[in-house]
Amino acid sequence: MRNYFEHSQEYLDYLKTLPNEFFLEILENCFFEITVTDKNGNVLYANPACLQYHGISAEKMWKLNFLTSFQGLWTPPSTAAAIEKKRTIISRQRSLLPDEEHITITTPLYNNENELIMLVYNTLKRESFVEFDLDYLNPEKESIVETEAKEKRRDKGEKNKASNNIVGRSYILYQTLHKLKKAAKSDIPVLLLGESGVGKSLIAKFIHDCSPRKSSPFISINCTSIPDNLIESELFGYVPYAFTGASPKGKKGLVEMANNGTLFLDEIGELMPNIQVKFLDFLENQRFTSVGGLESKTVNTRIITATNKNLAELVEKNKFREDLYWRINGITQTIPALRERRDDIFPIAQYYLKEYNQKYNQNKVFSNQVIESMIQYDWPGNVRQLKNAVEQMAVMSLGSVIGMDKLPEQLAAFFDNKDHQKRNVIFDDLVENYKRNIIVDYYENYDGNINEMAEALGLSQTTSYRLVNKYIKK
Ligand SMILES: Nc1ncnc2c1ncn2[C@@H]1O[C@H](COP(=O)(O)OP(=O)(O)OP(=O)(O)O)[C@@H](O)[C@H]1O
């Protein structure tokens, strides 16, 4: 290896006398993230700081490839640039999804024959640096992803915060938002599907914010939150004195309030049949008549709907109109459950911890075990449950580190149960092995004579035949 730092021979000789464990201890205890890849980008080493920094354990990081694994999520990419430039690259990297930046220092290392052997990466939080080495990227070569990230930065500070509140770093979330961003440019109705708490409402707002309608209203209504007898007047408004108790001034409906903007109907599967008819009529013509009114009004409203029900099934059971179903699902997008995009769990948890730290005027951090547990848990209530869990932990923990003893009940029960199952599995396996060994031993000792073997073991012949079939003649 080269003597980059021109150390004296004496010092180099001294370093060589130190045991491997000494260097490993330093790396493993380093506060900053240190990763090493081979010349093809395959990760050879990742220190434990990776988990705290990215929410990716060293074990997982170890299986990644820095040239391909992040698929443009962290931008600009530094590995290819360091290989090409044959020098250390200091880059300010930004994740496309969370509002997060870090500094990556990528150093290619060569052997005495000048062949690239590995790359060493240090990752630091942005604040520690004032100057950035970004000029290595030729502007013509900018990827779409990078251009979008730039657009996003430009949008910052404006009303449209685009994806700024949508936290995550999974590729699946990135793909979903990328597709919806394109859909946002049109007026085609969007139907968002997915379990409760996955972020459908947040994403509906994202679509609006990315659309040309972003400076007009985004009106959101949950179809289950309004009593059946009021939903029509809420949606389409009413004329003065339309019904007993109605205001003498009449009332504008949400459809009209969202004129030139977007109307988001959550839990669309719950819409009553008579309203479904009227809503379909509105979608077909962009016209409607207020309750008690005679004249129809025209509006220009973009519709986004969402449900956690299986709408196709509701159609089959005649609980949802088929014609309305086809009208609202111009573009259908399923938002994946949190357990299907585990890479999002840690950034979301960090995001909310920061928020609750500010709210409660504290500065707590998660312990590594809590991070691991959150990543392993299945989150049936998705992001909503995660957010609540983080608040609970932020409030209930005493010191500055949130430890396992403060895991919310459902999580603690899940892991207890898992441990219990694991213990059972181990015990059952041991018993099975023990039985197998006995049967194999006796079978061999009695030269395969099952009747004699049964007698020696005090078993019936039927049982002996069954056990021989199970353990020997599978
Ligand atoms: N990617 C995300 N980043 C940050 N917060 C999120 C994310 N996804 C969801 N949330 C938060 O989680 C909570 C639940 O999200 P949301 O209400 O959008 O879910 P939903 O799918 O519409 O749920 P439901 O079907 O029950 O209406 C909200 O507080 C939202 O801000």
Please state which CATH class domain 338-407 belongs to. mainly alpha
The preferred substitution site among 209, 307, 384, 386 for testing ligand 1, maximizing ligand atoms within 8 Å of CB, is 384
Beta-strand pair 302-307/89-95: unpaired
Domain extents in the chain? 9-144, 162-334, 338-407, 412-471
Tell which phi-psi region holds residue 57, choosing left (phi > 0), alpha (psi between -120 and 50) or beta.
Answer: beta
What is the rounded average pLDDT of the residues 145-166? 46
Strand segments, DSSP code E, in 213-364 are 218-222, 262-266, 287-289, 296-298, 302-307, 331-334
Ligand 1 atom closest to Cα of residue 204: 18
51 versus 181: the higher-pLDDT residue is 181
Compute, in angstroms, the gap from residue 386 CA to the centroid of ligand 1.
Answer: 10
Ligand 1 site, residue 387, Cβ cutoff 6 A? yes
Cα gap 213→188, rounded to integer Å:
13
Compute, in angstroms, the gap from residue 382 CA to the centroid of ligand 1.
Answer: 8
* The pLDDT value given to residue 194: 94
Cα gap 411→415, rounded to integer Å:
6
The fold adopted by the segment(s) 9-144 is Beta-Lactamase (3.30.450)
pLDDT in tens, 8-27: 889 989 999 999 999 998 99
146 versus 369: the higher-pLDDT residue is 369
Nearest protein CA to atom 15 of ligand 1, as residue:
199
pLDDT over 80 (residue 270)? yes
* The pLDDT value given to residue 1: 62
Instruction: Please determine whether the domains at 9-144 and 162-334 fall in the same fold group of CATH.
Output: no
Cα gap 324→322, rounded to integer Å:
5
Nearest protein CA to atom 13 of ligand 1, as residue:
384
The preferred substitution site among 201, 205, 207 for testing ligand 1, maximizing ligand atoms within 8 Å of CB, is 201
Q: Which residues is 193 bridged to in the sheet?
A: 307, 334
pLDDT in tens, 66-91: 887 765 566 677 888 899 989 888 88
pLDDT in tens, 436-466: 888 888 888 888 888 888 888 888 888 888 8
Cα gap 452→468, rounded to integer Å:
13
Six-digit token pair at 388? 């609540």
Residue 28's pLDDT band (cuts 50, 70, 90): confident
Ligand 1 site, residue 196, Cβ cutoff 6 A? yes
Q: Which residues is 103 bridged to in the sheet?
A: 92, 124
Nearest protein CA to atom 29 of ligand 1, as residue:
384
Compute, in angstroms, the gap from residue 429 CA to the centroid of ligand 1.
Answer: 42
Asked if the interface predicted TM-score (ipTM) of this complex is over 0.95, the answer is: yes
Tell which phi-psi region holds residue 171, choosing left (phi > 0), alpha (psi between -120 and 50) or beta.
Answer: alpha
What is the rounded average pLDDT of the residues 238-260? 85
What is the rounded average pLDDT of the residues 363-381? 88
pLDDT over 80 (residue 242)? no
The fold adopted by the segment(s) 162-334 is Rossmann fold (3.40.50)
Kind plus residue range of the DSSP H or E element containing 53 = helix 49-54
